[in-house]
Amino acid sequence: MRLAGLLMTLMVVFAGTATAVDVRVVGGERVSIDDHPWVVYVTDASGNQFCGGTLVSPTKVVTAAHCAAMRTPRNTRVVLGREDRQSSAGVVARLTDIWVHPDYVSADQGSDVAVLTLRDAVGFTSLPLARATDEELYEPGTSGLVLGWGRTSEQGSSSRYLMGATVPVMDDGHCENAYPQFDPDEMTCAGYPEGGVDTCQGDSGGPYVAGGRLIGITSWGEGCAREGKPGVYSEVKRYAEDIEAQLRI
Ligand code: ARG
């Protein structure tokens, strides 16, 4: 995410006293995983992080189809409870199954949803999914939290620490103006018209949370945090039944 990145500390020197003033120029900041115990990241068998995800039951993780479509349970891991990627905190879980939405072709064509099944149940708190009836969580202007270990600027490297930022749901008209392929039935876009706060490469599959529920899955966007180019998220309420069906398996 283009998060955190820039924390400008202005030293205001006045009457011989130096006062530090924090100015967060680009939205996000480090957050504690203890406050978001359901946020996970996905790695290959060597531990290289490439996507995010959300624990939605003791054995199920929701992520993006584009994170999972080319993978096998054997060569994929889910890391839970590890805020600092360079630490060994938390749990590295193995998988027994990967379900990719059957209509998935590419992220910008929608159905960018997948469910990973963990071999062993984990003790971390899971996050409830938005349901078909949770329309109010998708009202334009609703503020939601995006989380991940992705890039902190468009050309930057991914983040060692878990980052979070608040972005408002944008109205569908705005999203359709930004992107001809935006499908309001399957996608939600979020961000500020002027840009500046967004998810980025490596955040895909991770959560967009509002009202204590998973409302979106980080999916795609043009660049990161660009003016007029909001982030696009798979609209969880639209896929709630398909995902719930996977949780029963
Ligand atoms: N597709 C990206 C990934 O694989 C996430 C893109 C999100 N982009 C954005 N501008 N919000 O990590």
Q: Output the residue whose Cα is nearest ligand 1's atom 1.
A: 220
Ligand 1 atom nearest the C-alpha of 66 is 4
Q: Which fold has domain 37-126+239-247?
A: Thrombin, subunit H (2.40.10)
Same fold, 37-126+239-247 and 135-238: yes
Expressed in angstroms and rounded, the spacing between residue 220 Cα and the centre of ligand 1 is 4
Ligand 1 atom nearest the C-alpha of 231 is 11
Distance set, CA 44 to CA 68, 71, 157, 175 (Å): 11, 9, 18, 33
- pLDDT tens, N- to C-terminus, the chain (249 residues): 554 443 333 333 333 333 332 223 245 899 999 999 999 999 999 999 999 999 999 999 999 999 999 999 999 999 999 999 999 999 999 999 999 999 999 999 999 999 999 999 999 999 999 999 999 999 999 999 999 999 999 988 899 999 999 999 999 999 999 999 999 999 999 999 999 999 999 999 999 999 999 999 999 999 999 999 999 999 999 999 999 999 987
pTM summary value: 0.90
- Among residues 108, 112, 198, 203, the one annotated as catalytic is 112
- Would you kindly state where each structural domain of the chain is located, as residue ranges? 37-126+239-247, 135-238
Expressed in angstroms and rounded, the spacing between residue 104 Cα and the centre of ligand 1 is 16
In angstroms, the CA 153 to CA 138 distance is 26
In terms of CATH, what superfamily is 135-238? Trypsin-like serine proteases (2.40.10.10)
Q: Check if 103 is active-site.
A: no
Expressed in angstroms and rounded, the spacing between residue 164 Cα and the centre of ligand 1 is 14
